[in-house]
Structure 1
Amino acid sequence: MFGKSEPHLEDFRERAASHRVIPVSRTLLADGLTAIGLFETLCTDRAGTFLLESAEAGRSWSRYSFVGVRAAAMLTEQGGQARWLGKVPVGLPTTGDAWSVLRDSVTILNSSSNSNGPDGPDSPESHGQHNDSGPRFTSGFVGCLAYDAVRLFEKLPDDNPSEVDIPDLAFLLATDLAVLDHFRGTVTLIAAAINFDATDERVDEAWHDAMSRLDAMQTALANPVGVNVSRAASVPTAGTGRTRSHTTNDEYREAVDRAQKYIREGDAFQIVLSQRYSTPITARALDVYRVLRSSNPSPYMYLIRIPRESTEDGGGQMSDISVFDVVGSSPEALVTVEDRQCTVHPIAGTRQRGRDAQEDRALALDLLADHKERAEHVMLVDLARNDLGRVCEPGSVDVTEFMEIERYSHVMHIVSSVIGRLKEDSSALDALRATFPAGTLSGAPKVRAMEIIDELEPDRRGLYGGVVGYVDFRGNLDMAIAIRTAVIQDGVAHVQAGAGIVADSDPEAEAQECVNKAGAVLAALDVAQSLAPVDAPGEGAGD
């Protein structure tokens, strides 16, 4: 019941005989907490923390909010080679290319992870497709893979400058979590007990350390930090003020013309060309997230504070001072893997939202009747089927949802769903590699489209078109495509959006599509800049 910690030491010792990672949990009644308040209380402005949430498109919020309170270590890369920061469990690979090190580390910890028993948050029963008795994620790696990480898998040109200086791979080894259950009104505190030395002598120490971390989180919750009730001093239009595009209208139109020439010559069927927008920002990343979750709730909401290396000792420690923030509300998963079932949701076809319900319905019908949009969508559904076919059992790949409309705050999209069952010799990360990057962000065929993108876009893409999400220690994975996302670094927020170019594309319409797609995040950045605590009546609250 409330306040009880599981597993007990004796049970823990039994499980530790064959497992190195065992989540230790404690559930508390917390019907007065919000996800934002929980993050403020447990994370403050510390690096290596995160907040993951989900809302159905235009509808209700999902049951759980996941707050990453602390990470023991982070796997990143330098020149494509793996680099660990923090405390790394003995036995995990420390050298080699970053992708291989991530894959092997997950394999090692997957084979040495454990459930908490039938009632614990990590029980297998709690993760079945038809059972929602517990949170899906309790321990694992959380982070991001930049679009440019594709060069770890494919030989592609790499001649463009990198204006946004972030690694191609950054995954936190999440050890302390707080999972808010909105349905039950509880918070489950989870400390992943890791036997860092893989020795029998450290088993009890790992359990006691996990209990101490649970106690520390509970103590913090005894003195919760309040979240200001806020108002916007002004409501600016998205992209106004000091926001600048890295590509002029003429440059983008010229790139579209050149892409269409490649398409007419048979090099590609579609090429996704993007534009980056940058704006100075002093607002906290959490305030940007607060605005975004209110104005544009989406299936994938995330705030991740990713540390750089500490400059104080140069010894591979994570800095709490030097960070970059990833804040997003992505509508689209690249791939999810749960109980070995893979799912891809192609999204292609876009219209701006209508001014009223009647216009909105008319725009949706127009979108579904648009020959270009339908052809583009069918092509990407076929691409998803082919990608999953590389790692799924023959005959298991199926289209379960086809050309439905999903609505968001600024735009609507055509969506489909493609599923398949992983082969016995394939892992969740194999599914990620097979589908990465999304065809909706590159074009088709993928490799040739990416070569053309490298030629026509002025900068490396960075996170845009990559993924944000988690891979857990039971073989599951959930990765959102990094769109509708801001990377905040050194006082500047970067937002990127693209449009799928085909033979009969209108350059002006494609340029406007980029603006429409970036609009929700640019607006959230502007509003966050102007947030202020509400005044008492008579002190300016009516402004």
Structure 2
Amino acid sequence: MTSGTKQRYFEHRVRLSDDPLSVISAITSSGLFDDYVVYERDDCWSFAGGVLAEIVLERSGAALHGPAEMFLPWDGSPLRQVRKLLDRVRVDGWRAYGWTAFELAYAKDGDLSSVDGQRLLHLVVPRTEVRLEDGWAWLRSTDTGELAAVTAVLHSAPDATPGRPQPVDVRGIGADEYRSAVQSAVDDIHAHRFEKVILSRTVPLEADIDFVGTYVSGRRGNSPARSFLLRLGGVETAGFSPEIVVRVDPDGRVVSQPLAGTRALTGDTDRDALLRTELLADPKEVYEHAISVKIACDDLSDVCDPGSVNVEEFMAVRERGSVQHLASRVAGRLASDRDLWDAFAAAFPAVTASGVPKDAAYRGIRAHEAQARGLYSGAVLTVDQNGALDAALVLRAVYRQNGVTWLQAGAGIVGQSRPGREFEETCEKLDSVARFLVATNMIHAGTVPARPAEAGASSTGAA
């Protein structure tokens, strides 16, 4: 272990001459960075490129790489180890970007019995960071040459016209298998094994996807709560998240926004209004949403001041790309003896991507899904030195790892679920991405290939 030399960011700002999405496309396509993370929140796009410090959590423990090196063997408290390693980052005002696998849910309290060799968490504190907001690009880097190179990209009048999307028919694969899994889960619910479980299906893509082009095309056609574009340690994803897992503000305010209950969003105003009315009146959808809100309240109550947790918004309808959802907002005040990692641990994984109760739902997911989920239904997140955290639920995305590319979506299964309707719901969600895929070759669905259960993006998931 070495202490490392403290570094500093050199800062610069540039007036934007193009829209943020075009600028993000230009930076990610510039070739300046092998690995990067793009994260959009509340009309602010952030780009993180290069690695100043890196934290990887696996079954063996947590490792910090960079100017400071440290390894902490597995001790049953993985997020506490991540906290310790971030405290050793030697630059003021750092922000970390990265992802967590769904399987961190099994391991966060120390249980490794359902975890194989996959990566559970991967965070980087970037060497260079760009934030786009209010018509300005705010740049900082520990490398002055890299700062100048990115500035030059911003001045080059970027053109973010992606290739023509090649939509995929997501209804032509896996229907019988998914309906059978739904019926088995309904039987489990009637046998009182759990109340709700989210089951997903995959659609493999047999073509080379342009992830940057797909991100630009898909972001122009979606209305996400968060969006992300990531290439980090062999994992790639581009997505348009409908909801957050949890947000922690520097002042201790904690927010969760469960979405559950779905109907299509067709673009036909009259048809969409009819579907919205149907959604709000459907007992199955209302029940599914209500129990999700109840669990979200319970999760936050574990880490917030007594009496501070409340439902600030209940059963609003949010439009998210190709679907409309029932949405609620739960908020509380973080207890004085808790921090952002405690809040993340309490809320993760999102109840809308796992089930009720969570531990029983995990068993249902493992029973009905053939492979580890990895990045799907995990989180893409940012963590700030000032105590802020923002974690997007990884849904409505395209994934690539180990040469395999796929889509994935799921539905919440309760006792009243009908297998045909749940399959159609997965199709409606998949369309949020499937309509915007940009590739150099024709895309078509095929047989699901085997892929190793490692490093964080895999099959079968939720909402």
TM-score interval, smaller chain: 0.7 to 0.9
Change (3 A) 1:528 1:386: farther
Aligned pair partner of 1:442 in 329, 337, 354 = 354
Aligned pair partner of 1:266 in 178, 183, 192 = 192
- On the 8 A contact 1:156/1:451 being kept in 2, the answer is no
SS at match of 1:71: coil
* C-alpha distance in structure 2 between counterparts of 1:406 and 1:215, whole Å: 41
Q: Which residue of 1 is the match for residue 419 of structure 2? A: 507
Q: Which residue of 1 is the match for residue 11 of structure 2? A: 25
Alignment of 1:288-327 (within 5 A): 288-307=214-233, 323-327=234-238
Change (3 A) 1:219 1:417: same
- On the 8 A contact 2:163/2:213 being kept in 1, the answer is no
Q: Which residue of 1 is the match for residue 81 of structure 2? A: 101
Aligned partner letter, 1:294:
R
Change (3 A) 1:43 1:175: farther
Q: CA deviation at 1:414?
A: 0.3
Q: Which residue of 1 is the match for residue 49 of structure 2? A: 69
- On the 8 A contact 1:354/1:360 being kept in 2, the answer is yes
Q: CA deviation at 1:517?
A: 1.1
Gaps of 5+ in 2: 444-463
| 1:176 has 2:128 as partner | yes
Q: Which residue of 2 is the match for residue 218 of structure 1? A: 151
Change (3 A) 1:493 1:394: same
SS at match of 1:414: strand
Q: Which residue of 1 is the match for residue 316 of structure 2? A: 404
| 1:48 has 2:35 as partner | yes
SS at match of 1:40: helix
Gaps of 5+ in 1: 1-18, 55-61, 116-138, 192-208, 308-322, 532-543
Change (3 A) 1:520 1:514: same
- On the 8 A contact 1:467/1:482 being kept in 2, the answer is yes
* C-alpha distance in structure 2 between counterparts of 1:80 and 1:145, whole Å: 16
Q: CA deviation at 1:258?
A: 2.1
Aligned pair partner of 2:304 in 388, 392, 395 = 392
* C-alpha distance in structure 2 between counterparts of 1:156 and 1:255, whole Å: 26
Aligned pair partner of 1:239 in 162, 170, 174 = 170
Q: CA deviation at 1:256?
A: 1.9
Change (3 A) 1:94 1:39: farther
* C-alpha distance in structure 1 between counterparts of 2:217 and 2:53, whole Å: 30
Aligned pair partner of 2:99 in 144, 154, 160 = 144
* C-alpha distance in structure 2 between counterparts of 1:324 and 1:507, whole Å: 32
Name the larger-Rg structure.
Answer: 1
**Number of residue pairs matched?**
434
| Alignment deviations for residues 438-495 of structure 1 (CA, whole Å, 9 cap, x no partner) | 1111110100111121111111111111111111111100001111112112443222
| Alignment deviations for residues 220-269 of structure 1 (CA, whole Å, 9 cap, x no partner) | 545x374363552x7545438xxx85xx3333222222212221122211
Q: CA deviation at 1:378?
A: 0.9
SS at match of 1:463: coil
- On the 8 A contact 1:341/1:419 being kept in 2, the answer is yes
Q: CA deviation at 1:431?
A: 0.5
- On the 8 A contact 2:60/2:73 being kept in 1, the answer is no
Alignment of 1:461-540 (within 5 A): 461-525=373-437
Q: Which residue of 2 is the match for residue 334 of structure 1? A: 245
SS at match of 1:367: helix
Q: CA deviation at 1:350?
A: 0.1
| 1:362 has 2:342 as partner | no
- On the 8 A contact 1:392/1:423 being kept in 2, the answer is yes
Q: CA deviation at 1:22?
A: 5.4
* C-alpha distance in structure 2 between counterparts of 1:210 and 1:89, whole Å: 17
* Length-normalised TM-score, structure 1: 0.74
Alignment of 1:59-138 (within 5 A): 62-85=42-65, 87-89=66-68, 93-96=71-74, 99-109=79-89, 114=92
Change (3 A) 1:529 1:417: farther
Aligned partner letter, 1:366:
E
Change (3 A) 1:104 1:231: closer
* C-alpha distance in structure 2 between counterparts of 1:212 and 1:303, whole Å: 24
Change (3 A) 1:528 1:53: farther
* C-alpha distance in structure 2 between counterparts of 1:156 and 1:274, whole Å: 23
Deviates more, 1:271-280 or 1:45-54: 45-54
Q: Which residue of 1 is the match for residue 345 of structure 2? A: 433
- On the 8 A contact 1:239/1:523 being kept in 2, the answer is no
Q: Which residue of 1 is the match for residue 448 of structure 2? A: none
Q: Which residue of 2 is the match for residue 125 of structure 1? A: none
Q: Which residue of 1 is the match for residue 291 of structure 2? A: 379
- On the 8 A contact 1:39/1:67 being kept in 2, the answer is no
Q: Which residue of 2 is the match for residue 316 of structure 1? A: none
Q: CA deviation at 1:520?
A: 1.6
* C-alpha distance in structure 2 between counterparts of 1:340 and 1:255, whole Å: 41
Change (3 A) 1:228 1:265: closer
Aligned pair partner of 2:263 in 351, 359, 368 = 351
| Alignment deviations for residues 249-306 of structure 1 (CA, whole Å, 9 cap, x no partner) | 3332222222122211222111111111111232321111111111213121110110
- On the 8 A contact 1:64/1:180 being kept in 2, the answer is yes
- On the 8 A contact 2:223/2:319 being kept in 1, the answer is no
Change (3 A) 1:140 1:455: same
Q: Which residue of 1 is the match for residue 181 of structure 2? A: 255
SS at match of 1:524: coil
* C-alpha distance in structure 2 between counterparts of 1:328 and 1:215, whole Å: 29
SS at match of 2:223: coil
Aligned partner letter, 1:504:
Q
Q: CA deviation at 1:217?
A: 3.3
Aligned partner letter, 2:102:
Y
Change (3 A) 1:251 1:221: closer
| Alignment deviations for residues 67-114 of structure 1 (CA, whole Å, 9 cap, x no partner) | 2132223222343522445x2425x555446534312123455xx875
Q: Which residue of 2 is the match for residue 134 of structure 1? A: none
* C-alpha distance in structure 2 between counterparts of 1:70 and 1:446, whole Å: 36
- On the 8 A contact 1:288/1:528 being kept in 2, the answer is no
Change (3 A) 1:374 1:21: farther
Change (3 A) 1:355 1:289: closer
Change (3 A) 1:363 1:213: same
Aligned partner letter, 1:278:
P
| 1:158 has 2:108 as partner | no
* C-alpha distance in structure 1 between counterparts of 2:169 and 2:349, whole Å: 28
Q: Which residue of 1 is the match for residue 446 of structure 2? A: none
Change (3 A) 1:490 1:459: closer
- On the 8 A contact 1:35/1:67 being kept in 2, the answer is no
